[in-house]
Chain A
Amino acid sequence: MPSLRLDGRRIDVRDGDTIAAAAYRAGIRTFSRSLKAHRRRGLYCGTGDCANCLVTVDGLPGERACVTPARDGMKVDRETGWPSTDRDLLAINDRLHRLMPVGFYYKVFARPRWLWPIAERVIRRATGTGTLPLKAPARRMATRFVRVRTLVIGGGVAGLAAAATAAADGSVLVAEERELGARITDPAARETIARLAAEARAAGAEVLEGHTAIGIYEGPATAVLGRDELVEVEAERVIVATGAVEAHGVFPGNDLPGVWLGRGAAVMAAIHGVPIGDRVVIVANTDEGQHLADAIRAGGSDVALVAGRVLEARGSREVSSVSVLTPEGRRAFACDALVLSLGWAPRDTLLRMTAEPEVVGAGDVTSPGRSLADAEASGRAAGRGDPVEPADAGPWPVAEQDGYVCVCEDVSMHDLEHAWSEGWTSSEILKRYTTATMGPCQGALCSRHLAEHARAKGAAPAARGRTTARPPVRAPRLGDLTGAVHEQVERRTALHERHVAAGARIDHSGVWLRPGTYGDVDGEIRAVRERVSVMDVSTLGKFLVAGREARMLLDRVFPLDVGSIAPGRARYLLALDEAGYVMDDGLLAALGDDTFYLTSTSGGADRMEAWLRNWTDRLELHAHVLNQTAQLGAINVAGPHARDLLATLSEDDLSRAAIPYPGHAEITVAGVPCRAIAVGFVGELSYELHHPRGRSIELWDALLDAGAAWDIRPHGLDALDVLRLEKSHVYLAQDTMPDDHPAKLGLDWAVATHKDEFVGKRALERMNALPLERRLVGLRFDGPPQRGYPLAADGVIVGRITSCTVSSAAGGPVGLGWLRAIDGTFPSVLRAGDVTATVSPTPFYDPEGVRLRG
């Protein structure tokens, strides 16, 4: 006989059992303990709407026992109560309930201040639902995208009718939380569902069982959660046919084990064949009373069916009697199960969370309690796209006496009255103060009670509505939502495997994977300064800008005098935004009269492309912009022997005459066609070789091979940081702020102020007319500096170190930092902790630039 273990106890499992059915048959009546008062809670809704039966299954908490199929070998644990759910010492809280009105913990434990963190920890221990399985392996959740014409949520009569009809109009997907027909006890309804399901499938509708729609977002886009996948559904229309659950009755004793909502009781008795009690009283004010009585009788119980208002349910561990005000007067019944069908609570959370007109309801969710034929007709009408019928949930059993309103959070009518009298006088505020509707059921049972309470108290219309519905409708695990989300989307250069093979530490540099160092940063720096080295700079943004108005475009957008760049020459490029602030920098090389090659920083490539395309568009210029960042690799050959190395691999003229500084030429190196650009970022003779990406490995290998004669080694980002700092070259976003105009960075030489028009010109004029209030300066230190450290003058903080290093080539510890002016002048001697910093001329190394001009 298949079995499962519940808190270690062996329980038989029969075909078709849910965990709740197997447990109930075995005599389990208390499934959980309530949040604050630790009251016994038993099966209530039986349909997955409330939170009484949450259990931990095979280590995963938060599973609803009443809808989870039982399987042989399952390990089930109840989650609340200490030391056990059956014998819970914290049930003492229930006795002390009077002393603990809602919100008491905010007031009692707030003073003295040190008490709150302790109190908070204790309160957390005493409440809560389950323990997180910190050691459980992460489940792999897939994410799938689906686009359909119509999404139907709910595979009941109305939903399947809608699907069958809508299928004539385009693709249809039906998302049903369980299996079709799982909670249907009426034989006529089961037949209808079978018929409609066949019709829908034959018409081409796809039915996804075991999939719950947890939220509808703008679009409309719907998140549908299955056991192993998250499906993002984009649909032109969404039909919500999620049905209704019985209204939650509020009266003393309403949360006792043994009190059931009608349909759940019927499912237990008729589908699982487990009698819910010997003497059952059904209080039904809806049309379903007779059907419920038949279903429950079929389970073997003795049934009394009455209509009226429940005054009180009594019992200690379980219900033992109920008192009802019937049309004939007050009557009392002894019973061991009380079944309620007092009204309807449509499962309308999904409908209420969206204002999109494409999302409509059909069936019980709009008008509950109707006949099968009406439900089918309603579904078909929605499937056809007929105008939406007005919603009519029917009468609501307004709470007239004390009882638990929010069962999940242990909020009683008394608590609501108390909170209202304290001044929390709207349904939204009442929710936040009392936490009603904020439990695992998310107001499925009680949100209308909260609104009705506000209405009964005379609240204004704006203060008595249902509280805002938000996703998710059912609590998903975080892992369920992360599916295909990954930390980084990573870009790799063609040389990535070469760097890995050389033992490089690979860093995330923005979205790129780049080598930080190959193991010896000082060695790499020495190779550049004394011999020759190579660096993979393929990550640079690269653009071809060509066409009859290409020069006009570049001249209008950038602050440099493009016309004065002769073919064969290049110039340092500053990109300014409309406020005159530095956005990016790079190089502009003139290839011809109307053809230009532009580079940007590695992180700025996409922004540069967007920038160029925007201005081409707005200025309506004939210019082509081609993003070649992926197409071309780039290797920087740098060091006093750079030219010597290239000479062994190239027949071309590499002299300054042929490749001026700054300038470029097309040469062939090791058989690979390259655009060699003479650059000066690291302060040594350098040639940046831009070449087809497909030949990067070939070129790299040839350079390292031929470079062995000079004991070549590649250098990475760590070395680059020091090398460029010795030349006081700025790193954007590290040394610069978003509102730095060129003067603040000492880069005004890169701005051709005589030009008529360029982006940011007027803003620059405005700012240059004002005294400079902040500058980036070079600094020399008398001790080891720290990046980010504040700089102080006379005890007042006036700036910050943005980059620093200890460098022999620079003659000691040096760095960059920004300073603000005090009374119009910039201080020249500062303190950074124990270290003195002196403003110093830059660059620190080779100030005349002799070495890089080679």
Chain B
Amino acid sequence: MAELRDRALGVIVCAADASALDRLVPAGHGARMLRVAPDEIMAVVDAAFTQDVRRELADRVAALDGDALVLDVSDGWAAIAITGEDADRTFSYLSALDPPEDDGFAQGDVARVAAKVLRVPGGLAILVPAYWREHVRARAVDDAGTTEARG
């Protein structure tokens, strides 16, 4: 039985020219660099490192594209993790997306809303705009049969 838990993640958006983003060196602290569009990278990292990663990326991106925008948008995203042995099968009750491989991500329809999906230790993390948080949690419990994780 898969479990559901909230994850505290920092999200930094880098909006810049595609050629600049192609050359952008990933940030440290285990940040996952999601190329969500040709002109946008979302860096996702443990909440504790949000400001470090933001500073790092702001410097690097400015060097590649003076017109770029690098912002901490963590407040705008809710991260919900589905963990357990059958996390992938549980996910299949919420979405037709193929769960991503280790370092990759998928973006598309999850529980009928726009989401990004990452593989994290123990399972899958689903990122949605913060106003969808309760909706996705309710669908994960009602439709996919997850249980609230304790602790």
Closest Cβ of chain B: how far from A367's Cβ, in Å? 35
Report how far A632 CA is from B74 CA in the complex, Å: 10
Whether A546 and B93, one on each chain, are in contact in the complex, defined by CB atoms closer than 8 angstroms, is: no
Count of A-B residue pairs with CB < 8 Å: 81
Known: A484-B139, A489-B113, A622-B67. A147 touches B98 (CB 8 A): yes
Interface 9-mer from A138-146, A322-330, A373-381: A138-146
Decide if A457 is an interface residue (CB 8 Å cutoff).
no
A234 to B113, CA, bound (A): 20
* A626 and B145 alpha carbons, distance in the complex (Å): 35
Interface string of B106-118 (1 = CB under 8 A from A): 0000011100000
Given that A484-B139, A490-B135 are contacting pairs, would A631 and B130 also be in contact in the complex, using a CB cutoff of 8 Å? yes
Q: How far is the CB of A599 from chain B (nearest CB, A)?
A: 15
Residue pair B143, A630 in contact (C-beta under 8 Å):
no
In the bound complex, do residue B93 and residue A234 qualify as a contact, i.e. CB atoms below 8 Å apart?
Answer: no
Contact: A234 with B96, CB < 8 Å? yes
**Interface contact A624-B15, CB-CB below 8 Å:** yes
| Interface 1/0 per residue, A135-168 and B, CB below 8 Å | 0000000111111000000000000000000000
Question: 1/0 per residue A527-551: CB within 8 Å of B?
Answer: 0000000000000000010111000
Q: Nearest CB to that of B134 among chain A residues?
A: A492
B34 contacts which chain A residues (CB < 8 A)?
none
Q: Contact at A628–B76, with CB atoms within 8 Å?
A: yes
* Interface: A629 (CB within 8 A): yes
Indicate if the CB atoms of B130 and A693 lie closer than 8 Å. Answer: yes
Say yes or no: is A395 at the interface (Cβ < 8 Å to chain B): no
Interchain nearest-CB distance for B33 vs A (Å): 18
CB contacts under 8 Å to A, within B87-137, are 92-93, 95-98, 111-113, 129-135
- B13: CB under 8 A from chain A? yes
Q: Which chain A residue has the least Cβ–Cβ distance from B65?
A: A622
Chain B residues within an 8 Å CB radius of A496: 134
Q: Does A491 contact B (CB under 8 A)?
A: yes
| B143-A491 in contact (CB<8A) | no
Separation of A143 and B144 alpha carbons in the complex (Å): 9
Residues of B near A144 (CB, < 8 A) are 92-93
Could you tell me the distance in whole angstroms from the C-beta of A672 to the nearest C-beta in chain B?
12
Q: In whole angstroms, what is the CA distance A544 to B40 when docked?
A: 14
Asked whether B73 is an interface residue with its Cβ less than 8 Å from the other chain, the reply is yes
User: In the docked arrangement, what's the CA distance between A143 and B111, Å?
Assistant: 11
Instruction: Name B66-88 residues within 8 Å CB distance of A.
Output: 67-69, 71, 73-77
Residues A547 and B135 in contact in the complex (CB < 8 Å), given A144-B93, A693-B130: no
Chain B hits for A486, CB < 8 A: 112, 139
Question: For B135, what are the chain A residues with a Cβ–Cβ distance below 8 Å?
Answer: 489-492
Cross-chain contact A489 with B112 (CB below 8 angstroms): yes
Interface string of B51-72 (1 = CB under 8 A from A): 0000000000000000111010
Q: Is the CB of A492 within 8 A of B131?
A: yes
Of chain A, the residue at the smallest CB distance from B128 is A630
- A630 to B69, Cβ gap below 8 A? no
B13 and A632 form a contact (CB under 8 A)? no
Assess whether A493 is interfacial by the CB under 8 Å rule. yes
Roughly how many angstroms separate A35 CA and B95 CA in the complex, as a whole number? 42
Distance, CA A17 to CA B2, complexed state (A) = 37
B92 near A145 with CB under 8 A, answer: yes
B10-51 vs A, CB cutoff 8 Å, 1 = contact: the mask equals 000101010000000000000000000001000000000000
Docked-complex contact B93 and A628, CB < 8 angstroms: no
Q: Are B129 and A630 in contact (CB under 8 A)?
A: yes
B75 & A693 in contact (Cβ 8 Å cutoff): yes
Residues of B within 8 A of A622 (CB): 17, 67
A632 and B75 contacting across the interface, CB-CB below 8 Å: yes
A692 within 8 Å of B (CB atoms): yes
- In the bound complex, how far is the Cα of B129 from the Cα of A15, in angstroms? 54
Which of B15, B130, B133, B139: most chain A Cβ within 10 A? B130
Complex alpha-carbon distance, A694 and B92, angstroms: 31
Q: Which residues of A contact B132 (CB under 8 A)?
A: 489, 491
A147 to B88, CA, bound (A): 12
Residues of B near A491 (CB, < 8 A) are 131-132, 135
Q: Decide: B96 and A628 in contact? CB cutoff 8 A.
A: no
Of chain A, the residue at the smallest CB distance from B15 is A624
Known: A484-B143, A547-B69. A146 touches B92 (CB 8 A): yes
Closest chain B CB from A196 CB (angstroms)? 26
Q: Are B69 and A693 in contact (CB-based, < 8 A)?
A: no
Smallest Cβ-Cβ distance to A496: which chain B residue: B134
Bound-state Cα–Cα, A143 to B145, Å: 12
User: By the criterion CB–CB under 8 Å, are B143 and A142 in contact?
Assistant: yes
Given A484-B139, A484-B143, A628-B76, are A143 and B131 neighbors across the interface (CB < 8 Å)?
no
The answer to whether A631 and B76 touch across the interface, beta carbons within 8 angstroms, is: yes
Residue of B nearest to A539 (CB): B131
Q: Is the CB of A630 within 8 A of B96?
A: no
A302 within 8 A of B: no
Bound CA span A114–B72, Å: 70
Decide yes or no whether A232 CB sits under 8 A from chain B: yes
B89 CB, nearest partner CB in chain A, Å: 8
Contacts of B129 in A (CB 8 A): 629-630
Interface centre among A144, A147, A493, A694 (most CB of B within 10 A): A144
Is A232's CB under 8 angstroms from B112's CB?
no
Which among A489, A490, A629, A631 has the greatest number of chain B C-beta atoms within 10 A? Answer: A631
Closest CB in chain A relative to B34 CB, distance in Å: 15
A832 to B46, CA, bound (A): 62
Q: Are B93 and A626 in contact (CB under 8 A)?
A: no
Complexed CA–CA distance, A777 and B13 (Å):
45
Contact status B113-A631, CB under 8 Å: no
User: Whole-angstrom distance from the CB of B126 to the nearest CB of chain A?
Assistant: 14
Closest Cβ of chain A to B19, distance in Å, is: 12
Residues from chain B with a CB closer than 8 A to the CB of A692 are 75
Set of chain A residues within 8 Å of B75, measured between Cβ atoms: 630-632, 692-694
Q: Within the assembled complex, what's the spacing in Å between the Cα atoms of A491 and B76?
A: 13
Q: Which residue in chain B gives the minimum CB-CB distance to A511? A: B131
Q: Are A145 and B130 in contact (CB under 8 A)?
A: no
Q: Is the CB of B131 within 8 A of A631?
A: no
Q: Are B15 and A626 in contact (CB under 8 A)?
A: yes
Please, which residue of chain B has its CB at the minimum distance from the CB of A694? B75
Contact check, B76 vs A147: say whether CB atoms are below 8 A apart. Answer: no
Query: What CA separation (Å) do A624 and B113 show in the bound complex?
Result: 23
Q: How far is the CA of A764 from the CA of B94 in the complex (A)?
A: 46
C-alpha spacing A619/B98, complex, angstroms: 34
Q: Given the complex, which residues of B lie within 8 Å of A626, measured CB to CB? A: 13, 15, 69, 71, 73
**B96: nearest chain-A partner, CB-CB:** A145
Whether A143 pairs with B93 at a CB distance below 8 angstroms is yes
Evaluate contact between A630 and B130: CB separation under 8 angstroms: yes
Cα–Cα, bound, A492→B75 (Å) = 14
A146 vs B93: C-alpha distance when bound (angstroms): 9
CA distance A491 to B113 in the complex (A): 10
B79 → chain A, closest Cβ, in Å? Answer: 13
| Chain B residues with CB below 8 A from A234, complex form | 96
Q: Is the CB of A547 within 8 A of B67?
A: yes
| 26 pairs, A vs B, C-beta closer than 8 Å | A142-B93, A144-B93, A145-B97, A147-B98, A484-B93, A484-B143, A486-B112, A489-B132, A489-B135, A490-B134, A491-B131, A492-B134, A493-B131, A547-B69, A624-B15, A624-B39, A626-B73, A628-B73, A628-B76, A629-B76, A629-B129, A630-B76, A631-B130, A632-B76, A693-B75, A693-B76
Q: Top 8 A-B pairs ranked by shortest CB distance? A: A631-B76, A145-B96, A630-B129, A491-B131, A624-B15, A630-B76, A693-B75, A630-B130
Please report A residues at the B interface, Cβ cutoff 8 Å: 142-147, 232, 234, 483-484, 486, 489-494, 496, 512, 544, 546-548, 622, 624, 626, 628-632, 692-694
Q: Apart from A491-B131, A632-B76, what 10 extra A-B contacts exist at CB < 8 Å?
A: A145-B97, A146-B92, A486-B139, A489-B132, A624-B39, A626-B73, A630-B76, A630-B129, A630-B130, A631-B75
Which residues of B come within 8 Å of A, CB atoms?
13, 15, 17, 39, 67-69, 71, 73-77, 92-93, 95-98, 111-113, 129-135, 139, 143, 145
